Structure 1
Amino acid sequence: MPRSMTGFARREAKLPWGTLVWEIRSVNHRYLEPNFRLPEDFREIEPALRDAMRKALQRGKVEASLNVHWEQEGESELGVNLAKVAQLTKAASQINQLLGADAAPVNALEILRWPGVIQKQELDRDALHQAALELFDSALDGLIEHRSREGAELEQLILSRLDSVSAQVVKVRARMPEILAAQRDKLQAKLSALQVELDPERLEQEIVLLAQKADVDEELDRLDTHVIEVKRSLKQTDSLGRRLDFLMQELNREANTLSSKSIVSDTTQAAVELKVLIEQMREQIQNIE
């Protein structure tokens, strides 16, 4: 089943230390082009994120952003770096000995103001990263579901136009014997009006050549074959967009040949209608993964 390259997904997880929010959006692109916006604390998991995306998606420009909302400072436990306090106390004692009576007392609040003495409770980085990776997998699943739903709609649009292509082929095929007979009668009428006597065998040869130039059975057969191949390809997933784009080129080639061989307005109109249908399908296929 085809998947669209357009999609969006959002996943949120509330944890004891805060909230993680992943947002992933994608649009059509010739290749897979991932772009990540991550907080500094999560930069080291980017290779794992890219690997997960490459395994899940084939094409599309994908933007993934991670937002982290930490709990308020007042709700978090604070710790004191006792080792740092011991170092500061020892240094203050040495300085006081040098200054003697001129030394000013050092109180606890001054020590607490020193950088690195008061610190927020350290969180397990591995646990943070694992939570972000698991939530990303869930968001990626949501994106694929969205792209699959749009892909199903695109498939129905393409199938509808394929049916219209087949209808045009049937109409032209049914009209060809009548068209060729009319051309034969037209040629004979012109010769009669000119009162020109031609060898019957030579006349028959000219009529056969005219019929061969106007014969489009081969083009109609190839149009039918390409329609069948497009329907078969729609059941696959690997490199589907590129395969369908190639088949649209082949369909358009046969429509152009049909137009060049046209000898009446009916087949010309059918060729124009085929080109319109093929272009409509091609525009939809540009958004298929």
Structure 2
Amino acid sequence: MPVYSMTGYATAQQEVAPSETGGDAKSAGATRIGLEIRSVNSRFLDLSFRLPEELRQHEPALRELLNAKLKRGKVEVRAAVEQENGGGLKEPTTRQLQKLNAMQDNIRAWLPQATPLSVADVIRLGGSEAGTVQTTGEQIQALASKAIKELMAARQREGARLSTMLLDRIAQLRALAAQAVPLVPQLVEQQRQRFLERWKEAMNLAEGATAPEAAQDRALSEATAFAIRIDVAEEITRLDSHLDELERLLSKGGELGKRLDFLIQELHREANTLGSKSAAMELTRISVDMKVLIEQMREQVQNIE
């Protein structure tokens, strides 16, 4: 399965034939329904809709379609209805004029002081009624399916880019871990030699009060304790294990954002421990470089579904 990002954008449009709109088909211009879907990262699936009144009845169907395809993300769905007037102005039909006249008489019966409708009012109100769009559920679902398909393709492309970036960071972390492995034995040997030199100096100051064998044993004991204290083999092993799991998940794909986020936390913990055990500037540098890479990974993992 591919890796999907939660970031995506898609649009789709569909023209509605004049016979599918209310009012006089001859006076009605072309009607176009546009659907726009935007999505960004979120811990859960959060859907919001901004639909015109004539399309609000289709919100449950749109919600069901999105729930079937998306698992996480803050998703905003916008729809708009646009009409093109062939002659610029729509001429109200006889039925509309009769309806407006009856409404005016009824209102003025209760409010005699009300101002009569002007010609501009009649054109505006009649044109508005003529532009009411009558759409079927099949039309909206077909349009939404097209937009969702485009959105999934955009999220997949972004997910592939994120996956490539994460695999690159994983390779860099492995290289840093490989640099850290031989440093510990070198540090232990250097410390052992340092302990031996110190005990020799102390033995000379004490004028032979301490036997050379005892001094050497004490130096070796100190070096052993130092080696245990700075040993990062366990941290490197766990770090490699987490990197293996990251690669496995990325190759598997699907809904993996939360698991990736957990593994990033574990990687950061191991890098911190490695830094706290550091007994040389080189190990400290490796730890810092690891944490920089892990933080970059954390930012990108937040966008994976």
| TM-score grouping bracket, smaller chain normalisation | 0.7 to 0.9
Would you say 1:256 and 2:264 are equivalent positions?
no
Q: What are the ranges of 5 or more consecutive residues in structure 1 without an aligned counterpart?
A: 89-114
Partners of 2:132 and 2:190 in 1: how far apart?
A: 90
User: Partners of 1:185 and 1:270 in 2: how far apart?
Assistant: 25
In 2, are the aligned partners of 1:78 and 1:121 still within 8 Å (CA)?
Answer: no
Which residue matches 2:251? 235
Which secondary structure does the structure 2 equivalent of 1:235 belong to? helix
Q: Are 1:43 and 2:51 counterparts?
A: no
Percent identity of equivalent pairs? 39
AA aligned opposite 1:143:
L
Which residue of the partner structure matches residue 9 of structure 1?
10
Q: Residue 178 in 1 paired to residue 194 in 2?
A: no
Q: How does 1:139-218 map to 2 (within 5 A)?
A: 139-195=147-203, 197=210, 199=214, 200-218=216-234
Query: Of 131, 135, 154, which aligns to 2:139?
Result: 131
Determine which of 47, 64, 71 is the counterpart of 1:34.
47
Q: Which one of 49, 62, 68 corresponds to residue 81 of structure 2?
A: 68
Deviation at 1:80, TM superposition (A): 6.1
Q: How far 1:122 moved relative to its partner?
A: 8.9
Cα separation, 2, equivalents of 1:160 and 1:243: 19
Q: Is the 8 A contact 2:192 2:220 kept in 1?
A: no
CA apart distance, 1:191 = 1.9
Using the TM superposition, give the Cα deviation of residue 251 of structure 1 relative to its aligned residue in structure 2, in angstroms: 0.4
1:223 pairs with 2:223: no
Post-superposition shift, 1:78? 7.6
Query: Quick one: distance in 1 between partners of 2:220 and 2:192?
Result: 9
Contact 1:22 1:67 in 2 (8 A): yes
**Structure 2 residue 72 is matched with structure 1 residue 56:** no
Letter in 2 for 1:153: R
2:281 equivalent in structure 1? 265
Structure 1 residues 97-108: aligned runs within 5 Å: none
Aligned length: 258
Q: Secondary structure at the match of 1:29?
A: coil
Q: Please give the alpha-carbon distance, in whole angstroms, between the structure 2 residues aligned to 1:246 and 1:70.
A: 50
Contact kept? 2:34, 2:81, Cα under 8 Å: yes
Structure 1 stretches of 4+ moved >4 Å: 73-81, 119-123
Gaps of 5+ in 2: 19-30, 103-124
Q: 1:122 to 1:214 in 2, by over 3 A?
A: closer
Superposition deviation, residue 183 in structure 1: 1.4
User: Which residue of 18, 22, 28 corresponds with 2:35?
Assistant: 22
Cα distance in structure 2, aligned partners of 1:211 and 1:252 = 23
**Offset from partner CA, 1:39-66 (integer Å, 9 cap, x none):** 1122121111111111111111111111
TM-score (norm 1): 0.80
Instruction: Tell me how far apart the structure 2 counterparts of residues 180 and 132 of structure 1 sit (CA, whole Å).
Output: 71
Amino acid in the other structure paired with 1:224: D
Deviation of 1:263 after TM superposition, in Å, equals 1.0
Shift of 1:120: 5.0
Distance in 1 between the 2:199 and 2:131 partners?
103
CA distance in 2, matches of 1:180, 1:16: 82
RMSD of equivalent CA atoms = 2.8
Q: Which amino acid counterpart does residue 175 of structure 2 have in structure 1?
A: A
* Letter in structure 2 aligned against 1:60: G
Using the TM superposition, give the Cα deviation of residue 79 of structure 1 relative to its aligned residue in structure 2, in angstroms. Answer: 6.7
Once residues 209 and 150 of structure 1 are traced to their aligned partners in structure 2, the CA distance between those partners, rounded to angstroms, is: 50
**How far apart, CA to CA, are the structure 2 residues paired with 1:220 and 1:206?**
24
**Is the alpha carbon distance of 1:10 and 1:55 closer, same or farther for their aligned partners in structure 2, counting shifts above 3 Å?**
same
In structure 2, how many angstroms separate the alpha carbons of the residues matched to 1:121 and 1:205? 91
Taking the aligned partners of 1:130 and 1:180, their CA distance within structure 2 comes to 74
